[in-house]
Amino acid sequence: MIYGVRNYGPTYKYLLCFPFYRVEILAYTQSTQLNILYTTTFYNDCHISYSPRSFCFGSNWSACQSQQRCC
């Protein structure tokens, strides 16, 4: 999925899902270089986050908003 982030241009979001947690990586490309904006780790309750901001996308949005398991 491609996200438009202001001041960063084309932004790409990667989602890695593991049995008990998942990792989101938001990055953007600049002059053929991949720059990572931040990463977020969600555990089963899907609200423990290690980033300035966290959000979900697609079918996981409702689960994350209600702090249910996302993976």
Determine what percent of the chain is predicted with pLDDT higher than 90. Answer: 0
CB of 50 closer than 8 Å to CB of 41: yes
Task: With beta carbons less than 8 A apart as the criterion, state whether 58 and 40 touch.
Answer: no
pTM assigned to the model:
0.33
* 3 state SS of 59: helix
Exposure letters 6-27 (e unless 16+ CB within 10 A, then b): eeeeebebebeeeeeebebbbb
Spatial separation of the C-alpha atoms in residues 45 and 69, rounded to whole Å = 5
Sequence ranges of the domains in the chain = 2-65
| pLDDT tens per residue, range 36-49 | 665 665 554 444 44
